[in-house]
Amino acid sequence: MLLYYFIVLVALLSFVLGGASGTRQGNATLKGMERPVPDSKTLWCKAVSKGTTFLNAMSYSNFDAGQAFIPPIMSARSQWGLSYFHRGAVTSTRSHRLNDAIENTTAIGGLPISFAPKYTGLAGVDKRATGATLIMGVNSKDRRERIQSSHLRRRSQAKTCADRAKDMQPAVPTDQFPAIKASSDLLWALRQEETNISKAASNINFFMSLSIETPDTLMILMRALKQVGSKLTKAGKIFDIAGTIFDIAGTIFDIAGTIFDMTGEQGKAILGSPNAVAFAYFLINHEAVLRNKIIDSVDFMECETNDKSPCM
């Protein structure tokens, strides 16, 4: 897998329904949250509503999807793209379960990165670097010519920038933060570099979010599992729509734990959770290229990590 650091230099249209996020607050794993938080019903209803809006917008035209913005806009398309990048190889995690599909290398050129104290941002304005890092990966192709897009970050870049900026001497002011904030835009820029968009426009197979520790997402997941009488389990076999086991690099791999489709409110609530909204934005903002791809299900499983946190 490749670890990318890049600067994107065009304007951002942000979707106001919510941003991809995830704050790490101790060992906030699913098994450590036995009781719902007091406002869990409100959180659940908001997530279901947001997920429903996302699901509908994925099938809309660019103009109609733009009408889902508040206030409505003429286009839902994001204008961010890749302008500059630096790469380094980094090892895939076991919980990613795609080791057989990619080159399993050591972290040559990976973290820690030596940052320049300044960089040139939009309109040629010099800004101070916050020192924040981002981990995200794209496995571009397997033997069946499918695109595997993976989102590996535990924390939003906006919150990471805010935290790291405070540690700098002197602290970096907020007006010096990078203009790009949406994880969906960063993932799009990374995919532009890694894949041939024109030839693989609709070949996205799945997204992954690993080692989930966001309290709101964990609360939503706990409620969804309870409603269907299930528990967080280790991976089983993953099947595509035709019922065929995916075969990557000649190896059958396991992913599916508990599967929620988008016909029920459980699937919609998960789609509206902090760890899934970036994937919805990714599809909605680029529907003209991705040809109205729709997320039709979500699979939750126990990660192969020490704290056994959820992956999806």
Does residue 193 have a pLDDT over 50?
A: yes
pTM of the entire structure? 0.63
C-alpha span between 147 and 165 (Å, rounded): 35
In this structure, what are the phi and psi dihedrals at residue 87, rounded to the nearest 5 degrees? Answer: -125, 160
Query: For 260-282, what is each residue's pLDDT tens digit?
Result: 999 999 999 999 998 888 888 88
Query: For 40-84, what is each residue's pLDDT tens digit?
Result: 888 999 999 888 887 777 766 666 666 666 676 665 655 554 443
Q: Bridge partners of 311?
A: 301
Strands of 137-139's sheet, edge to edge? 137-139, 147-150, 204-206
**DSSP states of 181-248:** --HHHHHHHHHHHHS-TTTSTT-EEE--B-S---HHHHHHHHHHHHHTT-------B-B-TTSPBPEE
Strand 147-150, strand 204-206: pairing: parallel
Per-domain boundaries in the chain: 2-311
In this structure, what are the phi and psi dihedrals at residue 73, rounded to the nearest 5 degrees? Answer: -125, 165
Query: For 100-134, what is each residue's pLDDT tens digit?
Result: 333 333 333 333 444 567 767 767 778 877 777 66
The burial class, CB within 10 Å (0-12 / 13-18 / 19+), for 279 is buried
| 81 contacts 13 by C-beta, under 8 angstroms | no
Q: Which residue has the tokens 């799009």?
A: 188
C-alpha span between 69 and 56 (Å, rounded): 13
Does residue 211 have a pLDDT over 80?
A: no
